[in-house]
Amino acid sequence: MGYEIFLFLALMIGVMWFTTNRGKKKMAEQRERMGQAMVPGTSVMTIGGFFGRVVDVDGDVVTLESPSGVETIWLKSAIKEIKEPPFAPAHEDGEHLVVPDDASSLTTDPPAEAATTEPEDRPVGDPADDPERSEDQGPRPGPEPRA
């Protein structure tokens, strides 16, 4: 009776080893195929969700170009899959976005229509004096009274 338990246990360990080994081999084959398909011009997605186009592959390092034209360096293991971005490129004709080097084009002045509007007058005082506030709304939010 004792040997049957050991036989069953050995069989279960063998099945678990076989299934995990098989999964690892499939993953290795998939990574190998993806590595061969990553050539300059291929769109990829990283494990962090960054979409970019492959510019250069050098061993385990991949240079990706973002849709705005910025190049970043990634480990090849950080590339999740070869995938086109789910959004349209910034320019259909292949041009890159122009990003200014300084903030001189930014203004701190509010738009003209925002400058002419005045803040809405609100009643100040006891909540009981507020005709728009009904009894079922409860007290107004604010600081807690001190004891």
How far is 83 from 137, CA to CA, in rounded Å? Answer: 52
User: What are the φ and ψ backbone dihedral angles of 48, each rounded to 5 degrees?
Assistant: -90, -5
Backbone angles phi, psi at 103, to 5 degrees: -105, 25
- 3-state secondary structure at position 107: coil
Q: pLDDT tens digit string along 90-120? A: 555 555 555 666 766 666 665 555 555 555 5
Residue 79: is its pLDDT beyond 80?
yes
Query: Which pTM was predicted?
Result: 0.45
Per-residue pLDDT tens digits for 1-36: 678 889 999 999 999 999 888 888 888 888 888 877
What is the pLDDT at residue 86?
80
